Amino acid sequence: MLIPQSMTTITPKKGDLLIAEPSIIGDVSFNRSIVLIADHSDEGSIGFILNKPLDYAINELVPEIDANFKVYNGGPVEQDNLYFIHKIPELIPDSIEISLGIYWGGDFKKVVKLIEEGNIKENDLKFFLGYSGWDATQLENELKANSWVVAENVYKQNIIEKDYKSFWKEKMLEFGGEYSIWSNAPENPNYN
């Protein structure tokens, strides 16, 4: 796969996006995924897949929440745990800033109360089951193997409300060249 020169020199950092290369077809978790990097250090990286909705709404997992916000597959690690990112740190105490106005976690009881009161809307936060994790050199090795393209998050905090259905295809078209061809390929090549 020919990677545009400007993308080969980007070192991942908190707040960046990892866009799955078309070559990782067959990887159930990461095929056509876009991951927001929530933390990145010498010890490893953590992120959340932004464009893989599950067949659950939050009220099915947490019955005390009277809302049907979508829940997304954050990644293959700890899929029995619920995580969230948001853009309203002034309402949710103990949030950790990822970057560019995007925050991770915080006081979950406060989130439940704010949703009940109608003070949090679905485009303010995103729920995930599980997360994506890489140990110290794993992500670096995957980048060298051309499994991912690192891209700056140009959407900033609006990434939370980005349309997940066309997100990966949109990025392939932006990259141009050989990537444009992949934008219209079926997700499962057996359907071709």
Are 33 and 53 in contact by the 8 Å Cβ rule? The answer is no
Mean pLDDT of all residues belonging to the chain: 89
User: Is pLDDT at 5 greater than 50 in this prediction?
Assistant: no
> Both tokens of residue 65?
């929440």
Percentage of residues of the chain with pLDDT beyond 90: 77
pLDDT for res 25 = 62
pLDDT at 189: 54
Torsion of CA 28, 33, 37, 40, to 10 degrees: 50
| pLDDT the model gives residue 91 | 97
Q: Cα(177)–Cα(151) distance, rounded to whole angstroms?
A: 16
Measured CA to CA, the distance from residue 2 to residue 14 in angstroms comes to: 25
The closest alpha carbon to 86, from 130, 127, 131, belongs to: 127
What are 105-118's pLDDT values in tens digits? 999 999 999 999 99
d(CA 122, CA 115): 9
Give the domain extent around 33.
5-191
Taking 50 as the threshold, does the pLDDT of residue 172 lie above it? Answer: yes
With 60 as the cut, is the pLDDT of residue 4 above it?
A: no
Q: Is the pLDDT of residue 92 over 80?
A: yes
Structure confidence at residue 2 (pLDDT):
46
Length of the chain: 192
Q: What is the CATH number of the domain that holds 27?
A: 3.40.1740.10
User: Mean pLDDT, to the nearest integer, of 159-172?
Assistant: 92
> What was the pLDDT predicted at 54?
96
Tell me the pairing of strands 17-20 and 148-151.
Answer: antiparallel
- Answer whether 71's CB lies under 8 Å from 127's CB: yes
Over residues 133-154, the mean pLDDT reads 93
75, 39, 79: which is closest to 61 by C-alpha? 79
> Is residue 68 scored above 90 in pLDDT?
yes
Would you state the pLDDT for residue 23?
Answer: 75
Tally of structural domains, the chain: 1
Confidence of residue 1 (pLDDT cuts 50, 70, 90): very low
- pLDDT interval class at 192 (50, 70, 90): very low
**Residue 188 — very low, low, confident or very high, per pLDDT cuts 50/70/90?**
low
Q: Is the pLDDT of residue 8 over 60?
A: no
